[in-house]
Structure 1
Amino acid sequence: MNEHITSFDDHLTEQYGEIGTAERVNFEIKAKAFAIGEIIRDARKEAHLTQEQLAERTGTKKSFISRIENGHSDIQLSTLYRLMEVGLGKRVNLTIG
């Protein structure tokens, strides 16, 4: 490990470049997609649904649900709303700050 890395932010800068660079932005977008997938997975499990059941409720496929939950698929906001509100009975609140 590099001795000049003293924080997680230093590590991210070392690995992905300074904040605002294309590589760093790409990493942050993927990290957020992963986090959204985790939220969907947790809500699905809390609702005692399988991926197949959630897919049936929302008119998607199990493989699509799996890709989202694993952070391997970008989803449109309309799909996020459908999964959370129609499929899982949750409300989505979007904050931009």
Structure 2
Amino acid sequence: METKKFKTYSLTEMKDKYIGEIGTTNRDEYEYELRMDVLGKMIKSARQERHLTQEELGKLIGVQKAQISKLESSANSATIDTILKVFKALKAEINFNVKLEDNFVKLI
């Protein structure tokens, strides 16, 4: 009995094929959304580690519980100022890296 061999693909190959290659609009949008989703999950995790409810965190930074919920589900509509306020209220350090061509600019 013959065994059928399946071709395997890397995640990058699948993204290239179904989303678009790096540098295309679709791929850039996908990668951005993914990063914002991860950022939202990090905020939620830090909040839970500090034993705060969404309402309590909201009060610390002057927003409603609904805004914290929205931020945790995806941070793509949040301003950098809001994100910085959230992490400051959580007593968590956050670093941004900005890449200009081949040089990184680090914002702390």
TM superposition score normalised by structure 2: 0.79
C-alpha displacement at 1:9, in angstroms?
Answer: 0.5
TM superposition score normalised by structure 1: 0.87
Aligned residue number for residue 94 of structure 2: 92
Paired residues, number: 94
Q: What is the one-letter code of the residue matched to 1:74?
A: S
Aligned residue number for residue 34 of structure 1: 37
Q: Identify which of 82, 86, 96 aligns with 1:83.
A: 86
Whole-angstrom CA distance in 2 between matches of 1:25 and 1:5: 24
* Larger relative strand fraction: 2
* Larger relative helix fraction: 1
Whole-angstrom CA distance in 1 between matches of 2:86 and 2:35: 17
In the alignment, structure 2 segments of 5+ residues that lack a partner are 1-5, 99-103
Percent of paired sites with the same residue = 29
- Relative contact order (alpha carbons < 8 A, sep ≥ 6): 1 or 2 greater? 1
In the alignment, structure 1 segments of 5+ residues that lack a partner are none
Whole-angstrom CA distance in 2 between matches of 1:78 and 1:70: 18
